[in-house]
């Protein structure tokens, strides 16, 4: 990979050891993936904020970066942690564990990252525009900013994101380049005139589990997709597979027409997504078919204001049944907003627990001994069996409320 004189100097340690570490990793990645050069990035979003992911090696990595004088050079936001910084005791999280998470978080902020602890930075705090080059991890965010906004990032990962944030650069390969953003498989919606909220994660789950690294182009998409729905689609696809980008003809910015989305190439495959596929995929997402429910969880990815408003309305005059936990996860920023709006009190009064800075995928929650979880998140449906050891039923937000109020599926 070609390096400018300035980049050579950074690599050689002339601009400090922190930049040299970052450049060593970036130069190797560039060589590995055949990049010709480094390009400047507008922002980064990093995922090694969760102690559940990093363990003590995360603390050791950031200790060395701080010692080496590393600082991020572009805006860098942070993914959820393994604890809610204010409620970890009530979540039953071990004190030693919580303190190690706090240590990790302090070090991440010390090198200049913003303590957003949120997986939807694209809705606030770190909002890219069309064409921006980025180094983002967090798979749902990667799918969203590539597809819905038309910004450019590969599915980066823990530590590479921070190295890019320090250097303010990323090797130019993959989705940074026009030719790799073309759709490769056409998925035609057949006989589907309407998709409800709860159908979007199912479509995403299908794309992720069936298409591997391909870039789907969705044709004949019914009207009604909105940011919450697309967020849910991408999150499910990126969890169940490696979905980093999709096009929806007539909706996403690089797919005004099918021809534009395919970039003049012939698709490798053409698939049809019909009601049967929708239902069979939904069944695959569920491991629980009936019985008592002990956990209902929403807010994965972190809940938006619109989703919280809907939840408040649905819970009006209703209460979560005793013995059932109903959790909604969001950013601390969102919690502050809904606190001032009175929604936080309304949710708490109805028996819902608000969890911020973290979520059911990132927090150690086995001590709760949950057996059966109901969720409207395709990403929770994918990870909860492993993280929590639960059976999962995937449903709508209305279905979640019903299960929480009645205590059964």
Q: Please report, as ranges, the residues that interact with another protein according to CB under 8 A.
A: 21, 24-25, 28-29, 32-33, 47-48, 50, 53-58, 60-61, 64, 79, 137-139, 142, 154-161, 212-213, 238-239, 241-242, 361, 383, 385-387
Closer residue to another protein (CB): 54 or 350: 54
If the CB atoms of residues 158 and 324 are measured against another protein, the closer one turns out to be: 158
Residues 30 and 22: beta-carbon distance below 8 Å: no
Smallest distance from the beta carbon of 21 to another protein, in angstroms?
7
Q: Would you say 358 and 102 are in contact if contact means Cβ atoms under 8 Å apart?
A: no
Burial class (CB in 10 A: 0-12, 13-18, 19+), 214: buried
Nearest approach, Cβ of 406 to another protein (angstroms)?
27
Give the integer Cα–Cα distance in Å for 347 and 337.
13
Q: Least distance in Å: CB of 87 to another protein?
A: 22
Which candidate, 361, 392, 159, 358, places its Cα nearest to that of 283?
Answer: 392
Collapsing DSSP to helix, strand or coil, 337 comes out as helix
Task: Name the residue among 351, 338, 230, 222 with its Cα closest to residue 296.
Answer: 351
Q: Does residue 299 come out as left (phi exceeding 0), alpha (psi in the -120 to 50 range) or beta?
A: left
CB of 383 to another protein, least distance (A): 6
Q: Which is nearer to another protein, 47 or 187 (CB)?
A: 47
- Kindly state the smallest distance separating residue 316's Cβ from another protein, in Å: 35
Distance CA 5, CA 10 (A): 9
Using the minimum distance from each CB to another protein, give the nearer residue, 213 or 226. Answer: 213
Instruction: Give the shortest CB-140-to-another protein separation in angstroms.
Output: 9
Instruction: Select 25 or 305, whichever has its Cβ closest to another protein.
Output: 25
**Smallest distance, another protein to C-beta of residue 60, A:** 7
Phi, psi of 103, deg, nearest 5 = -60, -45
Q: Is the dihedral of CA 186, 189, 195, 199 positive or negative?
A: negative
Q: Which is nearer to another protein, 46 or 354 (CB)?
A: 46
Q: Helix axis angle, 17-32 relative to 56-67, nearest 10°?
A: 120
Q: Closest distance between another protein and the C-beta of residue 85, in Å?
A: 19
- Exposure pattern of 380-391 as b/e (b: 16+ CB <10 Å)? bbbbbeebbebb
Neighbours of 75 (CB within 10 A): 17
CA distance 108 to 274: 45
Shortest distance, CB of residue 289 to another protein, whole angstroms?
17
| H-run or E-run covering 393 | strand 391-394
Q: How many CB atoms lie within 10 A of CB 347?
A: 20
Q: Which is nearer to another protein, 348 or 367 (CB)?
A: 367
In order of 90, 97, 388, the CA distances from 94 in angstroms are 10, 5, 16
Q: Which is nearer to another protein, 190 or 371 (CB)?
A: 371
Cβ closest to another protein, residue 159 vs residue 343: 159
């Amino acid at each position: 990979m070609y390096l400018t004189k300035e980049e050579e100097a950074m690599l050689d340690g002339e601009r400090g050891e922190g930049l040299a570490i970052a450049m060593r990793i970036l130069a190797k990645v560039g060589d590995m993936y055949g990049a010709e050069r480094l390009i400047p990035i507008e922002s980064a979003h990093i995922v090694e904020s969760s102690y559940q992911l990093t363990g003590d090696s995360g603390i050791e990595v950031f200790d060395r970066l701080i010692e080496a004088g590393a600082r991020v050079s572009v805006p860098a936001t942070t993914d959820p942690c393994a604890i809610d910084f204010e409620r970890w005791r009530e979540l039953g999280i071990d004190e030693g564990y919580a303190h190690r998470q706090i240590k990790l978080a302090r070090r991440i902020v010390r090198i200049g990252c913003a303590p957003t602890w949120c997986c939807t930075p694209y809705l606030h705090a770190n909002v890219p525009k069309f064409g921006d080059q980025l180094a983002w991890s967090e798979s749902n965010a990667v799918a969203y900013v590539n597809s819905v906004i038309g910004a450019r990032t590969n599915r980066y990962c823990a530590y590479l994101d921070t190295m890019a944030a320090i250097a303010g650069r990323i090797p130019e390969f993959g989705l940074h380049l026009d030719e790799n953003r073309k759709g490769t498989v056409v998925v035609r919606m057949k006989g589907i005139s309407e998709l409800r909220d709860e159908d979007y994660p199912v479509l995403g789950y299908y794309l992720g589990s069936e298409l591997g690294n391909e870039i789907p182009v969705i044709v004949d998409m019914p009207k009604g997709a909105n940011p919450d729905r697309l967020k849910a689609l991408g999150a499910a696809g990126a969890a169940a597979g490696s979905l980093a980008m999709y096009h929806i003809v007539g909706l996403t910015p690089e797919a005004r027409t099918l021809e534009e989305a395919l970039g003049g190439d012939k698709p490798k495959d053409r698939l049809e997504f019909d009601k049967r596929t929708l239902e069979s995929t939904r069944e695959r997402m569920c491991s629980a078919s009936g019985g008592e429910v002990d956990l209902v969880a929403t807010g994965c990815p972190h809940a938006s204001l619109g989703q919280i408003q809907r939840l408040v309305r649905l819970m009006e005059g209703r209460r979560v049944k005793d013995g059932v936990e109903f959790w909604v996860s969001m950013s601390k920023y969102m919690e502050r907003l809904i606190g001032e709006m009175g929604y936080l009190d309304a949710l708490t009064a109805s028996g819902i627990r608000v969890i911020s800075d973290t979520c059911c995928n990132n927090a150690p929650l086995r001590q709760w001994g949950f057996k059966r979880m109901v969720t409207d998140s395709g990403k929770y449906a994918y990870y909860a069996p492993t993280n929590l050891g639960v059976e999962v039923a995937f449903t709508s937000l209305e279905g979640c409320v019903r299960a929480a109020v009645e205590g059964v599926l």
